[in-house]
Amino acid sequence: MDSLAEPSPVKIAGKPLVGRVVFSVLVFTAAFLGTTAGLLIVYSTDLPQISELERYRPSTITELYDDQGRQIGSFALQRRVLASYDDFPKVLRDAILSTEDKTFETHWGINFWRVFGATYRDITSSSRAQGASTLTMQLSRNLFLSPERHFSRKVQEALLALQIERRFTKQQIFTLYCNQIFLGHGVYGFEAGAEYYFNKHAKDLKLEEAALLAGLPKAPVFYSPINFPDKALKRRNLVINNMLEDGKITAEEAGRAKTTALHLNIQPDRSPAPNFVEEVRRFLEKKYGADEVHEGGLRVYTSLDLDLQKSATQAVLDGLAAYERRHGWKGQLKNVVQSGEGIGKYQDVDWQKPLAVGDYVHALVVDIGLQFCKIKLGRSYASLGPAELAWTGRKLPKNIFAVGDVIYVKVLALYPDGSAKVSLEQDSGAQGALLAIENSTGDIKAMVGGRDYDASKFNRATQASRQAGSSFKPFVYTAAIDQGAEPDDLIMDAPTTFNSAGVPYAPRNFDRKFEGNITLRHAMAESRNIPAVKLAQRVGMPTVADYARRFGITSPILPFLPVALGAADVTLYEQTSAYTVFPNDGLRIEPRYIRKVTDYEGHVLEQDFPDAKDVVSQRTARTMVSLLQEVVKHGTASSAKRLNHPVAGKTGTTNDYTDAWFVGFTPSLTCGVWVGFDEKKNLGESETGGHAALPIWMDFMRAVVADPARKNETFAAVGSDKRKTTAVKRAAITPPRHAADAEAH
């Protein structure tokens, strides 16, 4: 009967103990689940609606194109170019996933093993340096949350990641991530990153390039290949090792890629037509608003010709360099040692873009020897010796430079070893501007607003009002021709005192000589002042002012006789667009910057068509063309004959040589050039329009007349009744002002 003995007291006592343990576990579990549920409710209360992501489109770049579809500039708060999944090559996808999220294809938003591991390391290291975010969690943070690192944000990040994974496919998530992530230097997304760092599309990336980009999201500033190339190289090689470990590449491919140096091809931030782009920006912001312009991804098709723009910029810089050399070395160089900046730390704004042959840039003198001095141009070096210094009148560098001087040079050649050949130049403050307009459409083809846009944003082509000098005379002659004068009419070139608003006025000719009876044709060609004032007095200055306004001059034109010789302030924009009337058979076509604007989806927002009106009769316009051709054939612009092309135009020089002009045209294009200082300062003896401005005009026009499409163009004869077919169709012309008077003559 021993088997029926009472149970052991220990076993009986164990039942309450087990129950208490089970009860405690249940209570703890319930509390944990309740707390977790409460936290989830709290943290999910203010979560954004994931449904918004279906309509989400991040801010994108507004891009500007020239007349051939080549990009000339952009506006953006974030440099981003949206791309599709197929635009990202496999090598880039592998690099990103091997580095950022190896299990992306299999997890459902959260990698718990990675979370636990990161949490353990955070606790044991007493820090929050270890991340655990999947690619989807990074996307949710970048789209909806702040970058601050704290527990509540991590919870929200995970909750959003779960929602994103339920609603979108892996390809959609990956594409959103690749278009959203920050890669440094204002660049967002891998397509924009490929274009910025390598000047190519993402689909064309090599292994080492893809690895470099894939390593940037962790710390774009710290691993910047521009600012910290050594750190970027180590990070790139780490990405390559990750890809090798994951079996994405072979050991041979990894070895080759890791031994390849960083070969960046940074996309220049500066537009080749900065003044033109700025004019477009002002117009667009006024019409569409700053937000739409900088975030809406507009596509703006402009009138600019990129090739002519490059020729215009080079012509202005070369012309100013020639002017500087004519007036000798002035020195007065900035020295970084004296200013306390230090040679090693100095960085010039010119060094932020890749050097190219023909560039004018600032350089730093870093060493001076007996015969040569060494100069730094960003990452390149060059030397200057007796040959480069000859034009200054000094032979040795020590007689002209000191270590730390910032000098101005022209890049003549670039060599693979990083060295360069340069010529010594000078920037004394002289400025130049150029504007080119296609006659038949009003399209602005080139615009240069000054020597250096980085140094001065002031646009001297559109904003500077300067005295026009003799370039104003064609308006006087037009009024006279329109009222019956003929090119071969005689006029007396002799000393004369005029009454101008009750004040005696005795103008002189430039050469201080008088030629007696001469024809109007000769008077125009030689830019004789007395005949011009006599014609202005004959037709009346109010009439001359009215003609100038018809031609598009909006600046104030006072009805005083000195204005006939150019004592009126006008802009280069006004003067150049006014001259297009002559080769256009008397039509004025309003200049335009923009041909078409579309939104990001390609819908046309606006399309600009030429706006034209009659100014003077066809006969008057053609007569003026023949007179202005005489300026080139036998007058103050005779050097332009070397172009061997039909050209016409007028020089302009103001008192004390403060402003030099040449405005001229071919049958298809009109170009104006101005040279001077921003302050009204003497350019120097004999710096006339023909000497300072015309050479720049000729350098630019060589590129224009080299176009095969312009090879056989000619000016229409005065006696021909056929209207130019290249001009805007008559049906598009607005009712002309004073049309009856214009046609009557």
* 428 is known as an active-site residue: no
Catalytic residue among 100, 191, 278, 574: 100
Backbone phi, then psi, for 714, in 5-degree steps? Answer: -140, 160
Q: Which residues contact 255 (CB under 8 A, 6 or more apart)?
A: none
The count of other CB atoms within 10 Å of the CB of residue 718 is: 15
Among left, alpha and beta (phi > 0; psi -120 to 50; other), residue 358 is left
Q: E strand or H helix at 444, and its extent?
A: strand 444-448
Using DSSP, state whether 79 is helix, strand or coil: strand
Q: Which residues contact 644 (CB under 8 A, 6 or more apart)?
A: none
The position carrying tokens 């390559």 is 240
Task: Report the distance separating Cα 219 and Cα 605, nearest Å.
Answer: 39
Render 512-580 in DSSP notation, one character per residue: S---EEEEHHHHHHTT-HHHHHHHHHHH-HHHHHHHHHHTT--S-----GGGGGT-SEE-HHHHHHHHT
The count of other CB atoms within 10 Å of the CB of residue 148 is: 8
Q: Which residues contact 24 (CB under 8 A, 6 or more apart)?
A: none
* 687 is known as an active-site residue: no
Task: Report the distance separating Cα 305 and Cα 745, nearest Å.
Answer: 37
| Cross-sheet strand order for the sheet of 669-676 | 444-448, 431-438, 669-676, 659-665, 648-653
Task: Report the distance separating Cα 257 and Cα 251, nearest Å.
Answer: 10
Biggest CA–CA distance in the chain, Å, is 159
Residue 567, token pair as written in the block: 């004592």
Catalytic residue among 140, 311, 380, 470: 470
Burial class (CB in 10 A: 0-12, 13-18, 19+), 596: middle
Residues identified as active-site: 100, 470
